[in-house]
Structure 1
């Protein structure tokens, strides 16, 4: 039976939270596994975050939280410790409660992205990548691309200073990868990645210059809905290999499930 007094409670935090897929996905997993666990979508106004987080921490039976926009950075700074993946981007998309009641942070944005690409047979080592978007998810993805052996990453963002800063940080962490800020032009690249929300709505512009795509390129979009964005449709029509956003979420969920120890195999961490 699910939802007893002994249930593990997990929270999905975002503002707004109505678009979040994690509660449905995780609750389905709990149901399939016969686990006495629940994930609840919660939201609060940004100005109420401090009060909200204090209450969440005080609720002793909340074992973990998945975090989305706009709280990834704020939650990271509430944690006592963090995995290197979260520390290097100063951002958390998952936190779990430790034995002493404090929070431990991790970030699975880049992990899910890389694992999904590898599972689909896409090679990353030695590749030249255009990445559009240097925000929260984009930062995690850029580090993981460099870590996976990409030869070159060109970062494009509407905030040019943000792109320059991220390029410098990723290049310093992975000096074998040539990382620089530039325009959203895929010319000369092996792969083009949209790591922005641009494309979620039919009225959105294309995030990059699709006229410069060639059939030998792979085009990836991290947006889950629509499943085929305007970018992916244009890339497919030009003969490119394409990768939609849903697999990234599926592989994130795998990582998060292990991180939260949903099967209760090892509760030494909390």
Structure 2
């Protein structure tokens, strides 16, 4: 039941019809007894600045979730950021403080690592291959570094983009070995697909080196389909596979806490 006491939250995207977050977040609010509701808003890029500035005056707004294509552009519209958002160059959750200030965070990567953790996978000390250096890839790279991986190889079509990401992560986490390179699938403890390849049935695989084996983990950031062609190939070779859905579920918890919902336990 929505009343005058209900705390409001929103998610913005372009387009908006595909997003799964409202169902997940509203289920979470109900489960912890929080009087709040998350609603979707379809915001075009040319209207982003006007929309964000309007939110500063909404006294009953707790915050907003940001998804494609706004994660990069919204960074400059925040008053401050927490964690690695500034270094990553993107924001996907914003808290509205009582004074109207907007505080951004980037939780894609933390949600991914937390999703691994709840399934008993500790990445500390692992040799990891990360496929993709885009927005999701950058967030996951920083989160893997923060979690203590020993070695991180970034595989991307643009070597310059992979090198730039490696340099930014290394500047914040100088103790890890990180560089652009080739998958070298057989030697990895963990392979992560942070590209969009696998969303469509006719997509190519995100790597051609398919030397998967039973002593490694292959993980997806893609949620639908649940079993992507990459995961199917890895499972057929005996590797342990990790689906994309835990990333969303853990990220939802982190987003809610960032937006001030203290009744949600730590992820």
TM-score computed with the length of structure 1 as normaliser: 0.92
- For 1:251 and 1:34, how far apart are their aligned partners in 2? 18
Alignment match, 1:107: 106
Alignment match, 1:194: 193
SS at match of 2:187: coil
Is contact 1:184–1:207 with CA below 8 Å preserved after alignment?
Answer: no
Alignment match, 2:40: 41
Is contact 2:32–2:263 with CA below 8 Å preserved after alignment?
Answer: no
Q: CA deviation at 1:249?
A: 0.9
Matches of residues 78-157 of structure 1 in structure 2 within 5 Å?
78-157=77-156
SS at match of 2:124: coil
Alignment match, 2:182: 183
Is contact 2:95–2:260 with CA below 8 Å preserved after alignment?
Answer: no
Alignment match, 2:223: 224
- Could you give the per-residue CA deviations for residues 26-85 of structure 1, whole angstroms, max 9, x where no partner exists? 112223344331111111221222222233333332220011111112222111111122
Is contact 2:154–2:166 with CA below 8 Å preserved after alignment?
Answer: yes
Residues 127/35 of structure 1: CA separation in 2 closer, same or farther (3 Å cut):
closer
- Structure 2 gaps of 5+ residues are none
Q: CA deviation at 1:264?
A: 6.8
- For 2:56 and 2:73, how far apart are their aligned partners in 1? 14
- For 2:54 and 2:241, how far apart are their aligned partners in 1? 43
SS at match of 1:231: helix
Residues 170/42 of structure 1: CA separation in 2 closer, same or farther (3 Å cut):
same
SS at match of 1:129: strand
- For 2:60 and 2:98, how far apart are their aligned partners in 1? 12
Alignment match, 1:209: 208
SS at match of 1:58: coil
- For 2:149 and 2:132, how far apart are their aligned partners in 1? 17
Alignment match, 1:70: 69
TM-score computed with the length of structure 2 as normaliser: 0.93
- Structure 1 gaps of 5+ residues are 266-270
- For 2:207 and 2:120, how far apart are their aligned partners in 1? 24
Aligned pair count? 264
Task: Decide which moves more: 41-50 or 256-265.
Answer: 256-265
Task: Decide which moves more: 106-115 or 42-51.
Answer: 42-51
